[in-house]
Amino acid sequence: MTVGLPDPDTVRAALQLATRAPSVHNSQPWLWTIGADTLHLHADTSRHLPRTDPDQRDLMLSCGAALHHAVVGLAALGFHSRISRLPDPQNPTHLASIRTVAQEPAEIDVALAAAIPRRRTDRRIFSSWVVPRTDIAAIGVRVARMGVQMRRVDMSTDIESIVAESVSTHVHDGEYLAELTMWSGRYAAAAGVPARNTPRPEPASWLPGRIFAGAALDQPPGTDAAADHAVVLALGTAADAPVDRLRAGEATSMALLTCTALGLASCPVTEPLEIDATRQAIREEVFGGVEHPQMMLRVGWAPVGADPLPSTPRRALDDVVRSTTRPAADPA
């Protein structure tokens, strides 16, 4: 049994899928290097968003999602990944090393890989169709196998007020708004949140969304915010070290791809977790003060009659992948 890497074309095909991972404000804060027999993932801290993500938790989650996307791609192409997370204590931006062994793809590997190019972050109001409990259970089981806990969030008055507090805090933060404006409302950039993918704020929504600059996506005709039957899921970890955040990003990828494979729409909800006070409040309210909340997801059925969302742009593969026989230095 040979452990190493598959041929270069296979590696690049998997990394092409990895670039489709979701990231905070579509900042794509990752860098891959291909060694002689090992694939390396690094955090590109030059793309860190300090006002949105002061402790780089969102950056780690984003990189974890890219790591899982790569592993899914490799699995569908016939290679099982052996991952070493945070392998170099002297280089905290070196997040993972991957070596592979040939293995026949399982049905789930193909289904998840096929979901990657179809997944979208859908910020629109969802339909009145109820999300089946069996689908929620399937997501929870897959996430739990990755060492991450999932809770269904009861949208109580307390939770709604916590989310509203996070939105209000950001609205009154001038430096945050300036950063958000730089990364949203875009039309021709290879990164950032495009205007065509962000709807205008919906005052009647029971879960206030992030207020992006230049929003230009219309809600489908006849959409009723009061009839939105989305569910909110929270992912949490027992500890809150960098490796826990990385694993939470991997679990986020698993949850989102599972949603897509099941036909469900989904949208990460990170704003309440980007502020210490509201993140602690979510921890107490949802996890009983035990697990550390890392991600919230809004899951439901896409609006009836809605046009499919366009894909968000990504940087060219050659901009995020380097070939080398040695791990790259800190990209910062």
Question: What percent of the chain lies above the pLDDT cut of 70?
Answer: 97
Same domain (yes/no): 57, 159: no
245 close to 83: Cβ distance less than 8 angstroms: no
Q: Rounded mean pLDDT of 13-33?
A: 98
Same domain membership, residue 142 and residue 90: no
Same-domain pairing of 33 and 157: no
User: Residue 91 is part of a domain; what is its CATH number?
Assistant: 3.40.109.10
Structural domain boundaries enclosing 52: 8-119+315-323
pLDDT tens digit string along 45-92? 999 999 999 999 999 999 999 999 999 999 999 999 999 999 999 999
- Phi then psi for 323, rounded to 5 degrees? -100, 130
Q: Are residues 78 and 115 in the same domain?
A: yes
Kindly state whether residue 1 falls inside one of the protein's structural domains: no
pLDDT digits (tens, 9 = 90+) for 282-314: 999 999 999 999 999 999 999 888 889 999 999
Condensed to tens digits (0 to 9), the pLDDT of residues 143-181 reads: 999 999 999 999 888 999 999 999 999 999 999 999 999
User: Are residues 201 and 77 part of one domain?
Assistant: no
In a domain, 170, yes or no: yes
Q: Is residue 305 part of a domain?
A: no
**What is the total count of domains within the chain?**
2
> Quick count: other Cβ atoms within 10 Å of Cβ 53?
22
**For helices 107-115 and 242-261, what crossing angle results, to 10°?**
90
- Report the side by side order of strands in the sheet with 265-269: 149-153, 231-237, 292-300, 265-269
Mean pLDDT score of the chain: 94
| Judgement on whether residues 172 and 281 belong to the same structural domain of the protein | yes
* Residue 209 counted as domain residue: yes
185 and 285 belong to one structural domain = yes
CB 296 within 8 A of CB 232: yes
Write down the residue that tokens 């052996």 correspond to. Answer: 82
Rounded mean pLDDT, 196-218: 89
Q: Are 257 and 146 in contact (CB under 8 A)?
A: no
**What are the two backbone dihedrals, phi and then psi, of residue 214, each rounded to the nearest 5 degrees?**
65, 30
One domain for residues 159 and 242: yes
Strand order in the sheet with 321-323: 79-85, 94-102, 39-43, 30-34, 321-323
252 and 65 Cβ atoms separated by less than 8 Å: yes
pLDDT cut 90: percent of the chain above it: 86
* Residue 89: Cβ-neighbour burial (10 angstroms; 0-12, 13-18, 19+): exposed
Q: Which whole number is the average pLDDT over 126-134?
A: 96
Residue 196, pLDDT > 90, answer yes
Q: What does the alpha-carbon distance between residue 192 and residue 23 come to, in Å, rounded to a whole number?
A: 9
The answer to whether residue 94 sits within a structural domain is: yes
Q: Tokens at residue 197, please?
A: 């993918």
Whether residues 165 and 277 share a domain: the answer is yes
Residue 99 sits in the same domain as residue 212: no
User: Do both 113 and 160 map to the same domain?
Assistant: no
- Residues 216, 243: one domain? yes
Contact call for residues 74 and 41 (beta carbons, < 8 A): no
